[in-house]
């Protein structure tokens, strides 16, 4: 529905149509359709934890012309698994004396770029990347995260554009100033609170400030916008993508009006961290929304379905090939779905 003001005499009719539309969606078990907000697709960024971090790497590399920065929390390098689930342990740094090989991943990226399966790697030289590995992480270990940093260095993300935080005694989690488990936990909901230099560590803020070049305003004291659910099915058929029927979008008040040209950040949950596993906690407790409020930023929270595909019972994003051999290319079913959502958000209301 358009956000333009309706004539007073037509308000009752418009309201009836809206209620009827929502009633029809509810009757069919579907969330409302994703609307257009006139978002500025030139300022899209992405971040994620664990499998969401692997997917954030894939999106940044495959769509480097679109994404101007990425935040990677406990994730390995691009195309590490080489379309083989048996390499997953190496890519998570869990195989002694066999860390991921960044040179092989760089070679894979160069070959994919030459074949036009991903964007030119030239764009990466202008991008900003934040990488985090907790010293108490027992799931994605330092060799994997080290390899991610080395991969980005070798494709041209260097100097102050690449930040590596690897000294916080955190477990496998996205870190907040106060919410979630104790810092060293490696447990659901994979959200933990840690202190750095005597202050709570705001990882969402650290990511967003870095990928946007330190140009953001301080976060709001509390979210004042709306976390809305929407129907993912037009973008993500279950059998092809393993994605859920419903996802979330955080809409600050500043982004409700037509022509707001809001930025967009894509925040990707980890394994066992989708709404199937933890409800809306990833969308409400990780801290992105407070920064979105004060910086005119839509936050897109796509969702994986734990039960959609038997090969993915933990609700992970695909970084080893369970959706098919194109999982790390622009033709990836999951990446195509996310890019279609971004395109919808950029459309005028």
How many C-beta neighbours within 10 Å does residue 278 have? Answer: 19
**Does residue 50 carry a catalytic annotation?**
yes
Partners of 228 in beta bridges: 249
**Does residue 28 carry a catalytic annotation?**
no
Name the catalytic one among 47, 50, 229, 332: 50
> Is residue 80 within 8 Å of residue 319, measured between CB atoms?
yes
Separation between Cα atoms, residue 204 and residue 211, nearest integer Å: 11
Listing DSSP states for 6-50 in one string gives PPGGGHHHHHHHHHHHHHHHHHTT-PPPPPP----GGGEEEEEET
Torsion sign (Cα): 303, 280, 313, 60: positive
Separation between Cα atoms, residue 210 and residue 60, nearest integer Å: 15
Nearest to 106 by CA among 50, 63, 60, 147: 147
Instruction: Please give the structure tokens belonging to residue 25.
Output: 């969606």
How many C-beta neighbours within 10 Å does residue 233 have? Answer: 18
Q: Which residue has the tokens 């005028």?
A: 348
Cα 220-295-62 angle, rounded to 5 deg: 125
Separation between Cα atoms, residue 324 and residue 89, nearest integer Å: 19
**Does residue 245 carry a catalytic annotation?**
no
Instruction: Please give the structure tokens belonging to residue 110.
Output: 């160069």
Nearest to 37 by CA among 292, 313, 322: 292
Name the catalytic one among 63, 172, 210, 269: 172
Name the catalytic one among 47, 51, 63, 137: 137
Exposure b/e, 8-20, CB count within 10 A at least 16 = b: eeeeeeeeeeeee
> Is residue 141 within 8 Å of residue 94, measured between CB atoms?
yes
Q: Which residues are catalytic?
A: 50, 137, 172
């Amino acid at each position: 529905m358009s956000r333009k003001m309706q004539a007073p005499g037509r308000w009752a009719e418009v309201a009836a149509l809206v209620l009827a539309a929502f009633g029809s969606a509810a009757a069919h078990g579907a969330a409302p359709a994703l609307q257009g907000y006139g978002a500025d697709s030139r300022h899209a960024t992405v971040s994620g934890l664990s499998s969401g971090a692997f997917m954030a790497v894939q999106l940044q590399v495959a769509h480097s012309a679109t994404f101007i920065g990425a935040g990677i929390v406990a994730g390995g390098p691009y195309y590490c698994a080489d379309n083989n689930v048996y390499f997953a342990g190496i890519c998570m740094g869990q195989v002694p004396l066999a860390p991921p090989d960044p040179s092989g991943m760089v070679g894979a990226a160069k070959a994919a770029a030459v074949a036009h399966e991903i964007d030119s790697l030239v764009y990466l030289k202008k991008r900003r990347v934040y990488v985090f590995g907790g010293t108490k992480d027992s799931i994605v270990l330092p060799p994997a995260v080290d390899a991610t940093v080395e991969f980005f260095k070798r494709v041209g993300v260097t100097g102050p554009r690449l930040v590596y935080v690897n000294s916080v005694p955190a477990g496998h989690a996205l870190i907040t100033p106060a919410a979630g488990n104790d810092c060293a936990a490696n447990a659901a909901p994979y959200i933990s609170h840690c202190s750095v230099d005597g202050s709570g560590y705001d990882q969402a803020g650290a990511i967003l400030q870095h990928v946007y070049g330190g140009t953001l305003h301080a976060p709001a004291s509390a979210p004042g916008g709306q976390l809305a659910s929407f129907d993912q099915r037009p973008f993500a058929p279950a059998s092809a993508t393993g994605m859920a029927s419903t996802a979330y979008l955080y809409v600050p008040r500043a982004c409700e009006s037509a022509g707001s040209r809001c930025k967009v950040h894509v925040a990707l949950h980890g394994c066992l961290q989708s709404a199937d596993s933890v409800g809306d906690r990833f969308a409400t407790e990780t801290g992105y929304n407070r920064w979105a409020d004060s910086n005119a930023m839509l936050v897109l929270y796509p969702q994986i379905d734990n039960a959609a595909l038997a090969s993915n019972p933990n609700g992970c994003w695909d970084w080893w090939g369970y959706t098919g051999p194109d999982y790390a290319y622009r033709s990836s079913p999951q990446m195509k779905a996310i890019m279609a959502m971004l395109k919808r958000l950029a459309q005028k209301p």
